[in-house]
Amino acid sequence: MVNVEEKHTRREFLKFSALGLSAVAAVPSLVAGETHSTMSVYEGYKKSRVGSLAQLKKAGEIDFSYPDGNALCKAVYVNNEVKAYSIICTHKGCPTVYNKEKALFECPCHFTKYDAKKDGQMVIGHATGRLPRVLLEISGDDIFAIGVDGLIFGRINNNVG
């Protein structure tokens, strides 16, 4: 049996909890009203040559590192388009393997698959996001990496270069 004083306390607790939750819920809308960008595109890295367009069309894929030697990436030629991604799985950081026939980046650790044709979108698996996309510039037969759209897993200096 609950006495009146205890009931009152519970009611007050619930009332103040509801007020607290309302206040917390209001904070994101205030933050959203600010001018912060929520995009994770980073174009401040040094421009770096990936390879030649002719080489990519012939091989279907080119391995490279970007924005530095510790960041493994792959350029692929799918649906007559040049695309490039960090190959590091966004789930827990294993390097994915590119399945050229299916145009999928497949993670051997927990089997997440990413679609190379659809900007690295996650198709199935444990990851919650797509692969980071390497922004490219094509000049004549040369392919250059000029930025990254997304955060590379485990990289503590994603926005430093």
Residues serving a catalytic function are 91, 110
> With binding defined as CB under 6 A, does residue 94 bind ligand FES?
yes
Burial category of 122 from C-beta neighbours within 10 Å (exposed 0-12, middle 13-18, buried 19 and up): buried
Spatial distance between the Cα atoms of 17 and 108, rounded to a whole number of angstroms: 45
> With binding defined as CB under 6 A, does residue 118 bind ligand FES?
no
Those residues with Cβ within 8 angstroms of residue 131's Cβ, 6 or more apart along the chain or in another chain: 85, 86, 87, 88, 89, 90, 96, 105, 114, 120, 150
> With binding defined as CB under 6 A, does residue 91 bind ligand FES?
yes
> With binding defined as CB under 6 A, does residue 109 bind ligand FES?
yes
Triad 142, 145, 151: Cα angle to 5°: 160
> With binding defined as CB under 6 A, does residue 151 bind ligand FES?
no
- In whole angstroms, the minimum distance from the beta carbon of 108 to ligand FES comes to 8
Residues 126 and 91: beta-carbon distance below 8 Å = yes
> With binding defined as CB under 6 A, does residue 60 bind ligand FES?
no
Binder among 73, 89, 103, 122 for ligand FES (CB under 6 A) = 89
Binder among 110, 121, 138, 142 for ligand FES (CB under 6 A) = 110
> With binding defined as CB under 6 A, does residue 129 bind ligand FES?
no
- In whole angstroms, the minimum distance from the beta carbon of 37 to ligand FES comes to 28
- In whole angstroms, the minimum distance from the beta carbon of 121 to ligand FES comes to 15
Binder among 61, 118, 126, 136 for ligand FES (CB under 6 A) = 126
Those residues with Cβ within 8 angstroms of residue 68's Cβ, 6 or more apart along the chain or in another chain: 161
Query: Which residue from 80, 84, 61 is spatially nearest to 148, judged by alpha carbons?
Result: 84
Query: In the complex, which residues of this chain contact ligand FES (CB under 6 A)?
Result: 89, 91-94, 107, 109-110, 112, 125-127
